[in-house]
Amino acid sequence: MHDLEPITSLQNSRVKQVVRLRDRRDRDREGLFLIEGYRELTRALAGLQPITEVYTCSEFYLGSNEGGLLDDLVSRCGAAIQPVSSDVFRKMSYRDRPDGLLALAPRPQWRLDQWTPSAAGVAPLFLVAQSIEKPGNLGTLLRTADAAGVAGVVVVDRCTDLFNPNVVRASVGTLFTVPIAEATSAEAIEWFQQHGIRLIATTPDSSLQYTAADLSGPLALVMGSEQYGLDDRWLEQTDVQVRIPMAGEADSLNVATATAIVLFEALRQRTSDGEFESPVE
């Protein structure tokens, strides 16, 4: 199965295709995106993400489980496995320290109207990410949402592509383990209101500390862009506004850090004894 001759030419058309897919315009045009890394591909497989091709270079493998993963990708996804030389893999990879696995996958369409909130339980906790500009922050938000066990993440008025390679990398593959939908702000606000889900936002102008707010029940935490925060549409529609107290000179926190603080307070409040177990890998 993996006995094909490796691609050794940097000018190979398939190599050039992979490099092009770092660009959003090419991802949009071809309907494909890149998934690089053992953990990322393992979680993509677990999340039922289709995989069409996997480029491999055993010189970069970090362990002994890569062969089993490739077998699973072939048997469960029908993925084609293509070995490449180390020089070719370095050209294809977008990582400083590649681990020898890089895949092409069809870009999914994740829409809000595909969601059924009742499937998330009686008191679901959602995260809304509005106009997040930096791929690393968006990926970290997804990783945090996965760790907090959120019912879903809604990416609204997107500034960065969900399928940017750096989003996939920063999420460590949790892009495929958390339900995600893309929508406009108007669509998301209407959806949450229709389903009786309260909206909460963080703002330094609030007098209510996040630990004093009731974060139980059906709830969506709404976080805004790194530079401008939430826009007025969301602030006008939120049911609760809270602040995170800060003792230093900085006037704001990184959006992923602020999100983690509030999500884990909500998680703490949703347990009977104030304690919770770490998510199982």
User: Span 92-98, mean pLDDT?
Assistant: 94
11-61: pLDDT as tens digits: 999 999 999 999 999 999 999 999 999 999 999 999 999 999 999 999 999
The reply to whether CATH 3.30.1330.30 applies to domain 13-106 is yes
CATH fold match for the domains 13-106 and 112-269? no
Distance, CA of 233 to CA of 186 (rounded, Å): 8
Average pLDDT of the chain is 91
User: Span 89-106, mean pLDDT?
Assistant: 96
What pLDDT does residue 218 have? 93
What residues does each domain of the chain span? 13-106, 112-269
**Encoded tokens for 164:** 């940017």
Q: How many CB atoms lie within 10 A of CB 13?
A: 8
112-139: pLDDT as tens digits: 988 876 655 678 999 999 999 999 999 9
**Encoded tokens for 222:** 């709404």
Give domain 112-269's CATH architecture: 3-Layer(aba) Sandwich (3.40)
Strand blocks (E) in 14-124: 32-36, 53-56, 80-83, 101-106
